[in-house]
Every structure is written in structure tokens, then in C-alpha cells.
Amino acid sequence: MPDALLVLNAGSSSIKLALFESGGSGDPALPCKGMLDHHQHEPQMIVKDLKGNVLFERHAAAEADDEGFFADLLRWIDGFLAGGKLVAVGHRVVHGGLKFFEPVQVTPAILQALHELTPLAPLHQPVCLAPIEAMQRLRPDVPQIACFDTAFHHGLAPPMSRFALPRHFEQEGMRRYGFHGLSYEFIARHLRDIAPEIAAKRVVIAHLGSGASLCAMRDGRSIDTTMSFTTLDGLMMGTRCGAIDPGLPLYLQQQRGLSADEIEHVLYYESGLLGVSGISADVRVLENSDDPRAVEALELFAFRAGSAIAAMAHSLGGLDAIIFTAGIGENSPEVRRRICAGLGWLGVELDEQANSADELRIGARTARVATLVVPTDEEAAIAAHSQALITNR
């Protein structure tokens, strides 16, 4: 077996993991992908090859900590690589602040600096840093590489980067950062291979998963995006509200007596598809429900996404293509149909058959705007960065 890179992509309820070959001799056993899933009553970790064969599986009691899973995973990797070694672990880190816009090898000083960014992403940053610390304890000799979700939007410039707040706030870091950058970066690169005719044009990527955002991209670079200072802004999401009147949290605090923690919980965990439907954050459940509230939630989701696509087209000065990606974007013809139905005036029109079949090109032949479905792969983007960083050391 060749040497390998491990990628850990930590989200709020699960950690996606992937093992990639390092260097590139083309071993067919790599890559393999897996998940540490906390959704289950008993957390479980499963790694499968790309054909879906289970290579590693571990279940544990509900209170088991992640470090135990990682220790077993590393033991399994050592055996699986049979002489090859683990050369680096790449991690997704949600926030790089103003300082980190390229992947870095994590040193104690850098880890400290990343912890100091926690107030900018209080619910997500600690979740991303915990696996780095666990891996440092388990394998102190293996480089840990941090790749930032904010980095792809580093070039965002005024007016897109700016809030209409007193100027000194911006100098203190209160600006529009943007997230989902590793996903957007993967799609930007991949478009050069699969759809070169649009890769350099005016493209809106709709990353619609549990978290959701848009990226307005020209020449493969982000020029605007819907998430901003935190991962709450922009689109309606699974349990997050997206953009709301900033006066509303003040009202909840001042008139309804909710604490900051209670408001945070409402905005991050009780809103979005779950809050509006009162049923579920999962589009699959809502699409299968007869409850009118489920339809209303999906309608609002699509309306907000459509409005935001129009705003991104304004930033781009027009629109040549929309790319749908992530769990909802890749798998829900119904959501794509609802969103595109409101965008005919922009030149968007779907080929219903291609859309229903989740094909790559789902736009009508005559449409002015191309519409595509492109599966994202944040882990591949992290692996590519990690490989480049250890190669160029």
C-alpha cells in the first residue's frame, strides 16, 4: 500500500472522514470514505471503499468520546496501509479570521490563534479544533493541516465584504467573511474539467445542505456570498434562520426576556426548515409529508434561495450558470424545480426530465442560463491542500 493522507471534516453532528493516497501511484484501494456519526443512539464509525464495501466499523456507548474512535481508526489505518504510512491529517476549520487564508500546519501557537477565533463561530470552531487536538495527542509526529472554510472568500472586497456599520467595527474584524469555501473551491476546479465553457463565467453555486449558502463566482473566484460574519446569515437552512431583521434578536431579548444563549439556540437550532414546518429539518421528510406546514417550509426555502440568487446575479452583473450542490442541491429535483421556477425572468429554465434524473446538465437547451448539478467533495479539496503543503515544506 502507498502512503496516505487522512481527512477529517467535522460538522455539528458528524465527522466525515476520508483516506487518500499520498503522492499518486494510483492504488485502487484508495480513496475510501467514512463517517463518525453522533446521530445514532450509539455513535458509530464506518469506513467504506468507493464500491460501498465496509472496511472498518466500530460502535460505542452513547457517552464514548471521539478520541477513542480516532485511536481505533488509526490502528486500523496502520494495518490497512500494510507498510505505507500516514503522512498527514487534513482538517476543515470553519473560521480563519483575517489572518488565515491559506492552509497551515498546526503548531501550538497556531492552535491558540484558532481558538481565539471561537467567538466568531462559537458553535462550529470548537467542533473543528477538537479532532486536531485529539490527533496531536494520538500521533504527535504526524503533521496536522488546517484548511479554512473562509479562505476561498478571502478576496471579497467592498462593497461585498462590508456591513453598513460604523467604520471602526470593520477594522476590528466585523466584516463579511463567507463559509463553505472548501466546497466552492472544489466545484470551481472541477468545473474547469467538466464544463470549461462556463468555468470562467458568471456562476452562482448553491451549496444546499444542512447549512446552506450561495457563492457568486467570476473567473473561478468568489466575489460575493450569502453567509457573512457568522454561519447564520443568508439562506434559510435546516435549523438556522438565515437572514432576518437584525432588530428581531433585540426584540426577543428586550421585550421577551430571552437570554443570549436562548436566542442563539432559537436562531441556530430551532429555525429554518425545522422551525417553519414544525416537523423536520430534513427535506426528504418534508417532501414525503402531507402536512401543509411542510409545503410552506419548502416554499419559503426556495423563495429565499431564489431571491438570494437574484442578488448574487446583481453582484456578478448578470448570470451565466447556476450550480446546485450538497445534500439538498444534489438530491432534490423538487427543491431545484421550486427555486428555478421563480428565476425564468433571469433566463433560467429547467429540462424537467434531466432535473428529475439528477443529471449533470439540467437546464433546457434554449435557456440563457446553464443549470448544472455537481456533487461536491470537501474532503478531496482538503486532501489536495494537505498534499501540496507537505510536498512544498
Positions that interact with ligand ADP (CB under 6 A): 11, 209-211, 238, 281-284, 326-328, 331-332
Rounded Cα distance between 318 and 203, Å, is 9
Q: Which is nearer to ligand ADP, 87 or 94 (CB)?
A: 94
**In whole angstroms, how close is the CB of 192 to ligand ADP at the nearest point?**
23
> Is 20 in contact with 5 (CB distance < 8 Å)?
yes
**In whole angstroms, how close is the CB of 327 to ligand ADP at the nearest point?**
2
Q: Which triple of cell numbers denotes residue 161?
A: 465584504
CA torsion through residues 192, 196, 202, 203, sign: negative
Give yes or no: 149 in active site. Answer: yes
Q: What is the DSSP string of 207-275?
A: EESSSEEEEEEETTEEEEES--SSTTSSS--SS---S--THHHHHHHHTT---HHHHHHHHHHSSHHHH
Distance from CA of residue 203 to its chain's centroid?
A: 18
**In whole angstroms, how close is the CB of 24 to ligand ADP at the nearest point?**
27
Give the residue closest to ligand ADP by C-beta. Answer: 327
Q: Which is nearer to ligand ADP, 283 or 322 (CB)?
A: 283
Rounded Cα distance between 163 and 173, Å, is 11
**In whole angstroms, how close is the CB of 333 to ligand ADP at the nearest point?**
8
Q: Which is nearer to ligand ADP, 161 or 239 (CB)?
A: 239
> Is 176 in contact with 229 (CB distance < 8 Å)?
yes
Q: Which is nearer to ligand ADP, 273 or 364 (CB)?
A: 273
Give, in order, the Cα–Cα distances in Å from 81 to each of 1, 48, 86, 153.
Answer: 5, 15, 8, 36
Rounded Cα distance between 287 and 284, Å, is 5
**In whole angstroms, how close is the CB of 157 to ligand ADP at the nearest point?**
28
Give, in order, the Cα–Cα distances in Å from 143 to each of 15, 293, 388.
Answer: 19, 49, 13
Q: Which of 149, 224, 233, 320 is catalytic?
A: 149
Q: Which is nearer to ligand ADP, 209 or 306 (CB)?
A: 209
**In whole angstroms, how close is the CB of 130 to ligand ADP at the nearest point?**
17
Outline where DSSP puts E strands in 78-220.
86-93, 104-105, 144-148, 202-208, 212-218
Q: Which triple of cell numbers denotes residue 249?
A: 434578536
Enzyme catalytic residues: 149
